[in-house]
Chains A and B, each alone.
Chain A
């Protein structure tokens, strides 16, 4: 009898695919449903961010940082502004610092909402996604009040903010926080404790702590693996040392430490912690102060270089800037957290089924704008 000829099939997932979160292409080597090798192919959204950065003046880079990780524009602009401010030794007014924290944490909640909802979508639950977007809308309303834009704000400027917050903003922020605390319980009911959801995500795509560290995975994905590393705590930048909050670490409640469920749950719990930070910041927010008082007239950092890092919703966001003393950066390098997080996909995703690869990819929460830059 002639033997059946069996071979692995190469499956191109993306760049046009409903669950690759943008224009990512995954080259999967599959044996039936089992995926034996995953090769991410990136670059479909490459917009020459770093090269652009070498040709435009410092303040003009801020809108570009917004467009890198379009789900966390505030955090990106915040990180970039901090890097240039450190280079120029700018002392910021208190009010600016507080407002930046408030916006960064709101943005973190908004970004995690998308991550949580999209992860639900990846495992097949459509409704939670819309609930998450409903909450995100309220945050975007707040951003719109402050900056006039809903996605790309250009709000955090080097040395300050574009505008002060309008009257009524603080009340609306409190209103949202009160409403949001109840909502987190709703996700618990519809997703976190759902038996099918747990079956799909617990014990799937386990990322041990050493793998995470070796691949440079940061952010919620690293913390889900049991490593207590949050730059807001480990190396407090801005004024994070003034707030009380817990860093959420994956405990493997439903399966193993570092599985998809942990990565999901870390994000859900982090949203509550962000809300806690915002509450404290709103309470301590100084009423006086001009948000533009420290904005330099001419931004010409002295000759030198700087590497500044901050905690983005996706992980450790770093900016490396070399200044030659002119008004244009000599070199601008961005360390993108999602890029490093994505690199681990073959390590934790190979050997699982196609459906699990989707779930794992969703739990890593990548944004292609930031990976390709």
Chain B
């Protein structure tokens, strides 16, 4: 992507005096700035969405004052944080205290380098993309321990220690569940992983229901791997029910206790950047990334009709129970279906892979994370470790073997080599 961008820039007469190397460097910086803007906007939007989602779950309105429907609330909050006094506790380690938040932000920021947003849209198309994302995002723990230790506060220290134990433990189920998908596709390159999930096929290979070829529908084992990944990844990004490093009611704010102003905002940026990385990775590895769920024009029409039927069923059975017949979900999907029938161009667009699809899929996963957060209580430290080492890890290991058996059964691999 960067090379293509650089050569595109060199086409223009005004820029052709740039050599190839400076053009590449310029392209790199521009992409980096774009990703940084994405990360910042991502946090702004997600904080707003999180507040609204939590408000709706808690029968409140959420932010309503700043901007229409409170949409500018997070912008106002960000400005406030920027203007706040920069406090460093007297007995804190001044260097580590300053460096810690930046390391956390950097780690979650550079993880986006390998994330493919669309066909051809990946900042660095590396052959070990998946490995890179998983490993780089675990660097976060260094920053957390650093800022927790440097704060010279017992609560921060507890938060940092918990976080170190937690992230290191949950790396393993994360790795093993992703490995299950890698075993199927045979590559670590994220673009190739997505490309392998194109089209529509049978659910779990044999059940004759047309489902997208996404890995979550590939086999029961990969479905399980997807669930394990989602659970372990929730723990890795420190969200409820695994938010023990910053558990508000126990450790005040965990490793963030002593931080305020812009440094605290950096924690927030990286928290939501991490959530986005996890959501995008779930979408890429298990939900087909930027692939459209509809293989072609006919698929798009058929898919929209099935969605309408599903929405109808949902409207009747779920909404009727609470005596509130909602027309919004069915109305929206019905309108889309009609449009998909009347305008083939729209259906073709629906069937085309692209940025919209990965955004929708990532958004769904992020909504799931928020749903977890506002529903569940928090686990205790030892229960968290128990879940990781004694539940998720064995299941993930057996699951990995199960994937191999499944591939042998479906003829994807043969034992006679």
Footprint of B on A, CB under 8 Å?
Answer: 9, 11, 17-19, 33, 120-127, 130-131, 134, 190-191, 194, 196-197, 199-200, 353-356, 358
Contact = CB atoms under 8 A, between A and B. Distances in A.
B378 A196 contact: yes
B376 interface: yes
Contact of A121 (B54, B240, B249, B376): B249
Interface of A is mostly: helix
A88 B54 CA distance: 54
Contacts of A196: 241, 376-379
A18 B249 contact: yes
B51 to A, nearest CB: 12
Nearest to B251: A354
Contacts of A125: 375-378
Contacts of A124: 240-241, 243, 247-249, 376-378
A194 B249 contact: no
Contact of A11 (B57, B154, B249, B375): B154
Contacts of B376: 124-125, 194, 196
A127 B58 contact: yes
A130 B59 CA distance: 8
Nearest to A28: B154
Contacts of B154: 9, 11
26 contacts: A17-B252, A19-B249, A19-B250, A33-B381, A122-B249, A123-B377, A123-B378, A124-B243, A124-B249, A125-B376, A125-B377, A125-B378, A127-B375, A131-B59, A194-B376, A194-B377, A196-B377, A196-B378, A199-B379, A199-B380, A200-B378, A200-B379, A200-B383, A353-B382, A358-B249, A358-B250
B264 interface: no
Interface residues of B, number: 27
A354 B250 contact: yes
Contacts of B223: none
Contact of A190 (B60, B375, B383): B375
Closest 6 CB pairs of A and B: A124-B378, A125-B377, A130-B58, A19-B249, A123-B377, A124-B377
Nearest to B378: A124
B380 A356 contact: yes
Contacts of B378: 123-125, 196, 200, 355
Contacts of A121: 249
A9 B158 CA distance: 11
Given A17-B252, A355-B250, A199 B240 contact: no
Contacts of A11: 154
B374 interface: yes
Q: B158, B250, B377, B383 — which one has the most chain A CB atoms within 10 A of its CB?
A: B377
Interface of B is mostly: loop
Contacts of B374: 126-127
B381 A134 contact: no
Nearest to A122: B249
Contacts of A200: 377-380, 383
A122 B378 CA distance: 9
Interface string B215-252: 00000000000000000000000001101100111111
Interface in B53-77: 54, 57-60
A122 B379 CA distance: 11
Contacts of A199: 379-380, 383
B249 A353 contact: no
Interface in B368-414: 374-383
A9 B154 CA distance: 9
Given A125-B376, A353-B381, 19 more contacts: A9-B154, A11-B154, A18-B248, A33-B158, A120-B377, A123-B377, A123-B378, A124-B376, A125-B375, A127-B374, A130-B59, A131-B59, A134-B59, A200-B377, A200-B379, A354-B158, A354-B251, A358-B249, A358-B250
Nearest to A197: B377
Nearest to B373: A126
A124 B54 CA distance: 14
A250 B378 CA distance: 24
A123 B380 CA distance: 9
A355 B59 contact: no
B377 A353 contact: no
Contacts of B249: 18-19, 121-124, 358
B158 A127 contact: no
A11 B154 CA distance: 7
B181 to A, nearest CB: 28
Nearest to A199: B383
Nearest to B243: A124
A130 B374 CA distance: 11
B380 A127 contact: no
Contacts of B240: 124
Nearest to A121: B249
A121 B374 CA distance: 11
